[in-house]
Structure 1
Amino acid sequence: MPPIPPLFVLPVPPSVATSSTQNQQGEFICTQPSPQVYLLSFSYPPDNRLTPAFNQSFLLALDIIEHRLPRGVVITTSTISKFYSNGLDFENAIRDPTFFPSSLFPLWRRLVTYPMPTVALMNGHAFAGGLMTAMMHDYRIMNPHKGFVCLNELDFGAALQPAMASVFRVKLNMTTFRNMVLESRRFPALEALKEGIIDGVGDVDETLAFIGEMKLTQKAQGASYGKIKEEMYREVVKDLDEGPDTPKTLTARDLDRNRRDSEAKKRVDEYQAVLRRAKL
């Protein structure tokens, strides 16, 4: 297949707020491999971290496709062969109080309510926030030869915010979700397909065939497509919209957890005191 000229190219500037390894400029390139199918390929070395600059370019690319191009299907993928996305630049994300409510959650909300079909073509690893981003798409296709999908927050001590967890509760069965979050299990493509995490395996050609078989380009013409998604995923949308209140919610949970922990320790102390008196 000859090179496909891009419909547009958006730069992703390096950010001084990111880690020292995420200091190269990236880009989003939109091509049209098939009529009314838009392949949005991103590259943000070394592993497509979800930084504010990356998220803003992603959001703008989705806006351009919706408002400047005929309605169709959006495929997102990475041109970095090893990674679809390795998730957040975690240390900087948690230091920035605006990151979740003003950068990450608006991108996820845009994806989960996008008024056209979206397909995440996971060419490589999709870890943590990278997998969450893929889950905000309507469909997922995964490279059958390499890469894992994984929620590994347990491994680096991160909690799941409500807006991070709800999309998995809505789209997966609870046993699969449990294995993902409480075991940090890594799913290769065929296992992910069996568990319903992805909808198919392959590369661009197989994704285009999937779009054709599902008649997604035709479905994209429905004026109510986005509205239906807003209702179908209303729990996810609600948690994303309430993102600014998440710190208060988590603080209240911490206080309640500490209270219950203190009560549990008190019960243990009282029990041990009874044992000591019984020995006298």
Structure 2
Amino acid sequence: MDTANMCTVERRGRVHLITLTGAGEHRLSPALISAIRAAVAASPGAGALVMAAEGKYFSNGFDQAWARTVPPHLHTTMSEGFRGLVADLLALPMPTVAAVTGHAAAAGCALALAHDSTVMRASRGFLYMSEVDAGIKIVDYFGELLRQKVPDAATRRDMLLRGDKMTATEAVRRGVVDAAADGGVDDVVAAAVAAAEGLAARGWDGEVVAEIRKAVWPAVWGKVKDYGTEAAAAARPRL
């Protein structure tokens, strides 16, 4: 499958900007996950990374339509590929910012929270862990990621066991995201790029940033590290 048109990469100053393209839901199929991982791997030399998306969705989670077309034993391809993507982001030698330009549900929500900080669109979109409504169990590293990145136990309960949909205002109030940006998609991306540019301007040693990140979230890193870098690359599906 051709992944070239699934996301774009551009440099804005010192910021490496990855954008999931198109007006769809940006469902995380093995092909899209591979495309994002390739885009993340193309970031050397940048001072910070921002991930954004076109349209009304940041990402609506795993591609369940794809899963229905393949044998059950291939379903782990999606989850394990995403585990590798989380590992890539945690090991990346630069600060990372998610520009949540629209709805971020299930694995899409986890993708946003796998970044160091998050800027969310104030006027549209929500964070939503849909698994309890969909009747789908969460995998171990999802649980650990939410445990580490959502600071309040009641908020984690509301997200995971009640399936609450959280607006930007509520997410900022509860400490799940860092900022809500007014305006459209371009405004949210601009706010995230500005935040990332400010971090890049600090001139930190990228390898130190990566090692501190792993130390800050050791339980998450412990569950994904074997799927990062060369080991994960070797395990990626051939599409």
- Using structure 1 for the length normalisation, give the TM-score: 0.71
Partner of 1:12: 3
Indicate which of 206, 210, 229 corresponds to 2:195. 210
Establish whether residue 133 from structure 1 lines up as the match of residue 111 from structure 2. yes
- Inter-partner Cα distance in structure 2 for 1:241 and 1:205: 31
Establish whether residue 119 from structure 1 lines up as the match of residue 97 from structure 2. yes
Query: Structure 2 vs 1, CA of residues 217 and 100 (structure 1 numbering), >3 Å: closer, same or farther?
Result: farther
Matched residue count: 215
Query: Structure 2 vs 1, CA of residues 50 and 150 (structure 1 numbering), >3 Å: closer, same or farther?
Result: same
Instruction: Give the number of the structure whose alpha-carbon radius of gyration is greater.
Output: 1
Find runs of 4+ consecutive structure 1 residues off by over 6 angstroms. none
- Inter-partner Cα distance in structure 2 for 1:30 and 1:46: 18
Q: How far 1:113 sits from its partner (Å)?
A: 2.4
Partner of 1:262: none
Q: How far 1:30 sits from its partner (Å)?
A: 1.4
Establish whether residue 178 from structure 1 lines up as the match of residue 157 from structure 2. yes
Tell me how large the CA RMSD over aligned residues is. 2.1
Three-state SS of the structure 2 residue aligned to 1:183 is: coil
Three-state SS of the structure 2 residue aligned to 1:223 is: helix
Q: How far 1:181 sits from its partner (Å)?
A: 0.7
Unaligned runs of 5+ residues in structure 1 are: 1-10, 14-25, 244-280
Q: Kindly report which structure 2 residues correspond to 1:195-274, keeping only aligned pairs within 5 A, or say none.
A: 195-202=174-181, 203-213=188-198, 215-241=199-225
- Using structure 2 for the length normalisation, give the TM-score: 0.82
8 Å contact from structure 1 (residues 166, 235) kept in 2: yes
Q: How far 1:90 sits from its partner (Å)?
A: 2.8
Unaligned runs of 5+ residues in structure 2 are: 182-187, 228-239
Q: How far 1:241 sits from its partner (Å)?
A: 4.5
- Inter-partner Cα distance in structure 2 for 1:220 and 1:63: 19
Query: Structure 2 vs 1, CA of residues 89 and 159 (structure 1 numbering), >3 Å: closer, same or farther?
Result: same
8 Å contact from structure 1 (residues 72, 221) kept in 2: no
Three-state SS of the structure 1 residue aligned to 2:85 is: helix
Q: Kindly report which structure 2 residues correspond to 1:51-200, keeping only aligned pairs within 5 A, or say none.
A: 51-66=29-44, 70-79=45-54, 81-90=55-64, 92-93=66-67, 95=72, 96-100=74-78, 102-172=80-150, 173-200=152-179
Higher relative contact order (CA 8 A, sep 6+): 2
> Structure 1 counterpart of 2:117, which letter?
Y
8 Å contact from structure 1 (residues 150, 187) kept in 2: yes
Superimposed CA distance per residue, residues 101-143 of structure 1 (whole angstroms, 9 cap, x where no aligned partner): 6411111111122211111101100000100011111111011
- Inter-partner Cα distance in structure 1 for 2:189 and 2:9: 14
